[in-house]
Chains A and B, each alone.
Chain A
């Protein structure tokens, strides 16, 4: 088995600061060599042999799965890059501002050759603190890019007030309760905190727990759910029949995409849960962008860890629960028009 090269997918709306970040990655002295796959060759004003142009050609796989789309150009470029084996350490894939991150992420799970040689490290989304609310109101792609992210760089924070930042962060967390948010000015984030994060590694999900689904109050990525014991916006509002299209600023759950956090203190029946999750992804896969979870399976000492990108599910029994550790199951689904009540009911019905 050859070493898998880590790949960071960099998304973000036009003007969010992706190019500035890429320029930093290519010019800073960090001791690593990155191959960068860009969509608009020439935008990066750097003459570097490892900057490669790509065409964002998305196609459907002939495997009967409607949401199973991949980037054909990426498969070709990655296969070409492998011929430079040993001359770079990691790969960054930049997507266009209007791109749906689904096909690029799925490429790393669907194509066996790509899967054998590379591993998706994270989907990192750069957002512009000043304009993100407008973008979220008028662009489906902007909402999807945030929903899809493993981490979010909230850029240009110097251009808005603290109150604005908090409102923006609230709205981002409504779309994606999983991704930590890192504030930045002029895309200046420590590169070691965004690259090579193993955000897609199931083992890593376990390492990050028990707080991975809900970092403590006051920390980046914290979500208000039933465990933090105060009133919040997650337990109401989805059944009001309100208009989903007006999407005014600050009304977080007017977004068609949201994250639904579920948890259960009782052990879960493994067979029932697997069946429920398979059926859910088969039916709602096109609308479910991401899912992650840790499950306490009845009669099993190890925890079941899973994550999904649309219909593509990866799951594994990981390290055992420690004696005295709080055993509970947690899952987050991020998607479009999710029926939170039905999800909760289905999840809870898996109790052993």
Chain B
């Protein structure tokens, strides 16, 4: 199903019930069932994630608001005018939402309106991520990543240091590794048991999109002419091992990757607007959108790997079934 919106597609994703939704640069959330929710009037949505309840999306905007949108309407969860909210994550397991607002990471509990945690950082936080259980939060910032226990008040962060600016962050599904994307064209990683550093470089562009799959045995990233897959099995993760590249195409860079933690299907969105998927047990890639356009900015696989959704800079979007 090809779709066309009049604004930048910040995020395209599935909520836990499998319903597709798009979060746009014009401040609206569009559901596949055709509802439009004015989540951030006169503002732009900067980040989005599925709500922990399984219903709808949580979005952060350049109006300083965090909003929960469902087809029936929008609910404001937090607001501080003048501070952009440009990173958000949520955990269905713990029912928590974490978001970055300037140098702070704030945590909300969807079941307890009184619950609020604020974790301060020395520099602006660029990205936040929960571990698989939703108990720990990693914040990507300047000079490394800070780890926090999501519910504990008055704690000191565990600091994972590495010089430079870290712009995206993800835990491996087993919680053994943390990976950040850097301002330079490289990833950095830490083995959390001993904070051992892992350097993953050689990219021609910033590898800002990261997705784990295959029960955590593989990590897919953007930032190269093909999708880069790093082996993450075993105690050493990618240390001392080589990455492989699939779907290499000299004329384009992979801008977005998508996968599910347990699955074996990967999807790539290119900077020239094309989209493909690959099944790891098979060779070759299957082109989902061959038409060229502006860069793909949003891409997601449904939890059951049955559907794929994407969007680009100019508001073109699509939703396809990957089965039959």
A residues in contact with B7, CB < 8 Å: 83, 85-86
The stretch from A70-78, A137-145, A328-336 touching chain B is: A70-78
CB contact list, B189-217 vs A, under 8 A: 205-206
Question: Closest Cβ of chain B: how far from A53's Cβ, in Å?
Answer: 6
Q: Is A57 an interface residue, CB under 8 A from the partner?
A: yes
Q: Is B42 an interface residue (CB 8 A)?
A: yes
A83 to B85: give the CA distance in the assembly, Å.
13
With known contacts A57-B123, A84-B25, A49–B8 Cβ distance under 8 A: no
Q: Are A83 and B25 neighbours in the complex by a CB distance under 8 Å?
A: yes
Given contacts A72-B142, A80-B44, contact A62 B206 (CB under 8 A): no
Interface flags for A16-39 (1: CB within 8 Å of B; 0: not) read 000000000000000000000000
Q: Is B36 located at the chain interface by the 8 A CB criterion?
A: no
Q: Indicate if B86 sits at the interface (CB-CB under 8 A).
A: yes
Interface flags, B1-44, vs A, CB<8A=1, else 0 = 00000011010000000000000011000000000000000111
From 75 to 105 in chain B, residues with beta carbon under 8 angstroms from any chain A beta carbon are 82-84, 86, 102-103
| Cβ–Cβ < 8 Å partners of A83 in chain B | 7-8, 10, 25, 44-46, 62
A166 at the interface (CB under 8 A from B): no
Cα-based distance from A61 to B84 in the complex (angstroms): 24
A164 contacts partner chain B, Cβ-Cβ < 8 Å: no
Contact indicator B83/A84 (Cβ below 8 Å): no
CA distance A132 to B119 in the complex (A): 43
CA distance A72 to B123 in the complex (A): 10
Interface membership of chain B positions 260-284, coded 1 if the CB is closer than 8 angstroms to chain A and 0 otherwise: 0000000000000000000000000
Q: Which residue of the partner chain, among B42, B45, B124, B163, contacts A73 with CB atoms under 8 Å? A: B124
What is the minimal beta-carbon distance from A56 to any residue of chain B, in angstroms? 11
- A300 an interface residue at 8 Å Cβ cutoff? no
Q: Which of B56-87 contact A (CB under 8 A)?
A: 62-63, 82-84, 86
For the complex, give the distance between the alpha carbons of A52 and B63 in Å. Answer: 10
Shortest Cβ gap from B212 to chain A (Å): 24
Say if the beta carbon of B305 comes within 8 Å of chain A: no
- Tell whether A341 is near chain B: CB-to-CB under 8 Å: no
> Is A82 within 8 A of B86, CB to CB?
no
B8 contacts which of A41, A61, A84 (Cβ < 8 Å)? Answer: A84
Q: Give Cα distance in the complex from A72 to B164, angstroms.
A: 10
| Residue B183 is within 8 A (CB to CB) of chain A in the complex | yes
User: What are the residues of chain A within 8 A of B142 when measuring CB–CB?
Assistant: 57, 59, 72
Nearest CB of chain B from residue A238's CB, rounded to whole Å:
38
- Chain A residues with Cβ below 8 Å from B126 are 72, 76
Asked if A250 is an interface residue, CB under 8 A from chain B, the answer is: no
Contacting residues of chain B (235-294) with chain A, CB-CB under 8 angstroms = 294
Q: Which residues of A contact B182 (CB under 8 A)?
A: 62
Cβ 8 A contact of A80, one of B62, B165, B294:
B62
Name the B residues within 8 Å of A53 (CB-CB).
82-83
Encode A208-238 as 1/0 by CB contact (under 8 A) with B: 0000000000000000000000000000000
A301: chain B residues at CB < 8 Å are: none
Q: How far is the CB of B37 from chain A (nearest CB, A)?
A: 17
Name the one of A41, A59, A73, A112 contacting B164, with C-beta atoms under 8 angstroms: A59
B313 CB-CB contact with A under 8 Å: yes
Q: Is the CB of A62 within 8 A of B163?
A: yes
A49 touches B63 (CB 8 A): yes
| Chain A residues, Cβ within 8 Å of B25 | 83-85
Contact between chains at A55 and B124 (CB < 8 Å): yes
Indicate with 1 or 0, residue by residue over B109-135, a CB within 8 angstroms of chain A CB atoms. 000000000000001101000000000
What is the minimal beta-carbon distance from B251 to any residue of chain A, in angstroms?
A: 14
Instruction: Find chain A residues with CB under 8 A from B123 CB.
Output: 57, 72
B8 to A85, Cβ gap below 8 A?
Answer: yes
What's the minimum C-beta distance from B234 to chain A, rounded to whole angstroms? 28
Assuming the contacts A49-B63, A62-B163, A85-B25, asked whether A55 and B102 have C-beta atoms less than 8 A apart, the reply is yes
One digit per residue, 1 when the CB lies within 8 angstroms of any chain B CB and 0 when it does not, for chain A 176-209 equals 0000000000000000000000000000000000
**A113 on the interface (CB 8 Å rule)?**
yes
For residue A15, CB closer than 8 A to chain B, the reply is no
Q: B86 near A80 (CB under 8 angstroms)?
A: yes
Contact B82 A42 (CB under 8 A): yes
Distance between Cα atoms of A29 and B206 in the complex (Å): 40
Q: What's the least CB distance linking B28 to chain A, in Å?
A: 12
**In angstroms, how far is the closest chain A Cβ from the Cβ of B79?**
15
Residues from chain B with a CB closer than 8 A to the CB of A42 are: 82
A82 touches B165 (CB 8 A): no
Cα A82 to Cα B46 with chains together (Å): 10
Given contacts A42-B82, A85-B25, contact A112 B206 (CB under 8 A): yes
Q: A75 to B167: give the CA distance in the assembly, Å.
A: 10
Given the complex of chains A and B, what is the CA–CA distance between A113 and B124 in angstroms? 19
Contact A72 B165 (CB under 8 A): yes
Question: Which 9 residue pairs of A and B lie closest in terms of their CB atoms, listed nearest first?
Answer: A83-B25, A83-B8, A83-B44, A62-B164, A84-B44, A41-B82, A72-B165, A85-B8, A62-B184
Q: Supply 20 further A-B pairs (C-beta < 8 A) apart from A2-B313, A53-B82, A83-B8.
A: A41-B82, A49-B43, A59-B165, A59-B183, A61-B183, A61-B184, A72-B126, A73-B124, A75-B183, A76-B86, A77-B84, A80-B44, A83-B7, A83-B45, A83-B46, A84-B25, A84-B44, A85-B25, A111-B183, A112-B205
Q: List 9 A-B contacts (CB under 8 A).
A: A53-B82, A57-B124, A57-B142, A61-B184, A62-B163, A72-B165, A82-B8, A83-B44, A111-B183
